[in-house]
Amino acid sequence: MASAGIQSRGDEQGEKVCRYLIFVVWSRTLRSRVPVKRPAACNVSQFVKELGMPGSWSYTDVFGLDPELLAMVPQPCVALLLLFPINDKYEQYRKGEEERIKEAGQNVTSKLYYMKQTIGNACGTIALLHSIANNQESIKPEKALKTFLENTASLDPVERAAYLEKDESIKVAHESSALEGQTETPSRDDEINLHFVALVQKEGELYELDGRKPFPINHGKTTADSFLEDAAKVCKEFMARDPEELHFTVVALAQTG
Task: Give the CATH number, domain containing residue 118.
Answer: 3.40.532.10
DSSP class of residue 174 equals H
242: left (phi > 0), else alpha (psi -120 to 50), else beta? Answer: beta
DSSP bridge pairs for 209 = 198
Contact 130, 115 (CB under 8 A): yes
Q: Considering the domain boundaries, does residue 48 fall inside one?
A: yes
Residue 174 among the catalytic residues: no
Distance (Å) of CA 121 to CA 17, 64, 94, 103: 9, 26, 19, 30
Of the residues 18, 195, 235, 247, only one is catalytic, namely: 195
The phi and psi torsions of 6 (rounded to 5 degrees) equal: -90, 130
How many distinct structural domains can be found in the chain?
1
Of the residues 123, 130, 174, 247, only one is catalytic, namely: 123
Q: Which residues contact 84 (CB under 8 A, 6 or more apart)?
A: 90, 194, 195, 197, 238, 245, 247, 248, 249
Q: Considering the domain boundaries, does residue 220 fall inside one?
A: yes
Count CB neighbours of 180 within 10 A.
25
Weakly modelled stretches of the chain, pLDDT under 50: 1-39, 178-190
Domain ranges, residue 251: 12-255
Q: Considering the domain boundaries, does residue 72 fall inside one?
A: yes
Q: Considering the domain boundaries, does residue 137 fall inside one?
A: yes
Cα distance between residue 91 and residue 96, in whole Å: 9
DSSP class of residue 218 equals E
Q: Considering the domain boundaries, does residue 5 fall inside one?
A: no
Cα distance between residue 116 and residue 209, in whole Å: 9
CA dihedral 73, 238, 213, 23 (to 10 degrees): 50
Residue 195 among the catalytic residues: yes
Q: What is the pLDDT of residue 186?
A: 37
Q: Which residues contact 55 (CB under 8 A, 6 or more apart)?
A: 49, 257
Cα distance between residue 222 and residue 200, in whole Å: 10
Q: Considering the domain boundaries, does residue 3 fall inside one?
A: no
Q: Considering the domain boundaries, does residue 7 fall inside one?
A: no
Q: Considering the domain boundaries, does residue 1 fall inside one?
A: no
Q: What is the pLDDT of residue 83?
A: 92
